Amino acid sequence: VSPPKTALDELELDALTELVNIGVSKAALSLREMVNEQVILSVPELRLLSRNEAIAILTAQEAGRLVAVHQVFEGDINGRVLLIFPETKSLELVRAVTGGELPLEDIIELEQEALAETGNIILNGCLATIANQLQRTLKMSLPEILRGAGHEFFELDPPPVAGDVVMFLYINFAMKKRDIQGYIVMLMDLPSLAALKELLAEYIQRTTGEGMPSHDLSR
Amino acid sequence: MTYSVLIVDDSKLARMAVAKALNALYPDWTRIEATNADEALVLARQSLPDIALLDFNMPGRDGLDLAGDFRGMSTDMPIAVISANLQQEVVNKAGDVGASFLPKPLTQEALGEFLRDAVARLTAASK
């Protein structure tokens, strides 16, 4: 199934990318408090894809096992969001967050907790910024760590009833002289995408004072 | 006295937001827009803007880097780096190149305060 490419127009995608960047910048500030050193987080690109396209891209780029921090969100928009790293990078991430002085066994022991905490800061930073700027409330579940091949993260229960769409984002993570690239994947159903489009149109109008909010003519 | 303002941000929405605030504050001023540091440098050499508003987080070179280049071109140009990234390192580096730091999302109040100060500095420098 082809993704609804026209679902968000260019300016709506731009607005969403900007909101996510503001969100990860705020998350970087929280992480900086945690590691006491500058943290650089950026999301250079956001793409709207079908589930199959997202799986194809992720598995083509990351052949090995992956680790993900997973959270479910509910509100005007419902879905799930995952921060995904190659499993080989996750210990590096934990080292960066914990200071890098710890022996390997401690790092392995702390990995789960540190990943959940870091992921929670980044994902909450994104979603809270999106929700605040769109003037809506989103309820987030606690973070959960998942491990597996890329496609497994797209087949979590319960499966979406009303079709689904994937926001696919690259996230660059630099701290303590380490550069780690990961992915943020946001899965939502089509009614949520429609709600998001409407909220983005309102946000764009508030922000720029131009244009009219878009209306779904099919309703 | 009207001034020209260079707005550099990779996000069209962010440029539109700055333009809206600027237009509400100083409707007569000239706006120049660029989407990245390289384009901004070309435009700045052509049209010598009086004031620069630079997004920090851009693909390619960031706004702080660009602020350094602009400072090299003009010691008096009021420059603001705009970012949601309020980390001390970023704020300090902005200070090092004599740039102000404005939080994102940018409010008309914050921009207005920076521009009033910028006008005062430009007026003083031209005397």
Subunit contact A38:B90, Cβ cutoff 8 A: yes
pTM value?
0.86
Q: What values do phi and psi take at B26, rounded to 5?
A: -135, 80
A97-111, A150-164, B63-77, B78-92 — most confident range: B63-77
Instruction: Give the type of residue at B83.
Output: S
pLDDT at residue A164, rounded to an integer: 86
Splitting chain A (219 residues) into consecutive groups of 10 residues, what average pLDDT does each group show?
A: 67 93 89 83 87 93 93 94 90 78 81 89 92 93 94 84 84 82 92 94 88 44
CB contact under 8 A, B17 and A208: yes
Q: Which of A23, A28, A44 comes nearest B59 by C-beta?
A: A44
Nearest CA in chain A to B107: A207
Which one of B20, B57, B62, B91 makes the best mutation probe of the A interface by having the most chain A beta carbons within 10 Å?
B57
Phi and psi at residue A46, to the nearest 5°: -125, 130
Write down the pLDDT at residue A15: 94
**A109, HSE (Cβ side, Cα atoms, 13 Å):** 5
Provide, as residue numbers in chain B, all residues whose Cβ is less than 8 Å from the Cβ of A17: 11
Give the residue from B22, B36, B85, B111 with the most A CB atoms within 10 Å of its CB, the best one to mutate: B85
